[in-house]
Amino acid sequence: LAKTTQPISMDSYEGQEVNITCSHNNIATNDYITWYQQFPSQGPRFIIQGYKTKVTNEVASLFIPADRKSSTLSLPRVSLSDTAVYYCLVGSETGANNLFFGTGTRLTVIP
Amino acid sequence: DADVTQTPRNRITKTGKRIMLECSQTKGHDRMYWYRQDPGLGLRLIYYSFDVKDINKGEISDGYSVSRQAQAKFSLSLESAIPNQTALYFCATSVPGTSGRDNEQFFGPGTRLTVL
């Protein structure tokens, strides 16, 4: 199992860029990296997924270095509504590795 | 209508009672999952099923059982509920093979279970 390690919590002011890093030293060749967002009392929601280099969508960017042992979720100009828990998962679609959410990173956006 | 539904949404029960939580989906996904979440903690996988004939234990399957009655339905049972099973339970579905969103999970609204 590719275990992931994330900071437990982070604070940021509105309008700032937030970067959340996830460590996954044991990532396998076929594994991809997926990030989810969870608001209180709701199920997690997919944000972004990548295999290598950089991926960007309308919500976030995901940076993955060449060795793939870590990844960074970047949220541009956060607002109060971005206050949530963010989870990093690693695994491939053929197995169950990418089903382990861990405790995630609790992001608090401050006015 | 929601693609992934869970019933009941809230349930209070007593120690020793048998409880069944139900999950239904209209997404046509083969893969379904049950998670529990305790206050302030992340999600922990209880059971998962990759198709109707497939059942697999997750991280914390002790005290739980599941039934995959059809592609669209996946039920979680607590045979004899105990207070430390008080938690928020989520069902999810997924499908592999979508580029850039491979095995993306779609979650239901959750069932809040309290065992007294």
In one letter, which amino acid is B21? Answer: L
Q: Which residue of B has its CA nearest to A57?
A: B100
For residues A98 and A101, give the distance between their C-alpha atoms in angstroms, rounded to a whole number: 8
Between chain A and chain B, how many beta carbons pairs sit less than 8 Å apart?
58
pLDDT of residue A95: 60
For residues A44 and B116, give the distance between their C-alpha atoms in angstroms, rounded to a whole number: 27
Q: pLDDT tens, B22-52?
A: 999 999 999 999 999 998 788 899 999 999 9
Collect all residues of chain A within an 8 Å Cβ-Cβ radius of residue B39: none
Q: Which residue of A has its CA nearest to B112?
A: A41
Position A100 pLDDT exceeds 90: no
Any long-range contacts for A66-69 (C-beta under 8 Å, 24+ apart)?
A68/A24, A68/A27, A68/A33, A69/A23, A69/A24, A69/A25, A69/A27
**Which A positions 5-24 lie with beta carbon below 8 A of chain B?**
none
Collect all residues of chain B within an 8 Å Cβ-Cβ radius of residue A99: 33, 45, 48, 58, 105
Mean pLDDT of chain A: 91
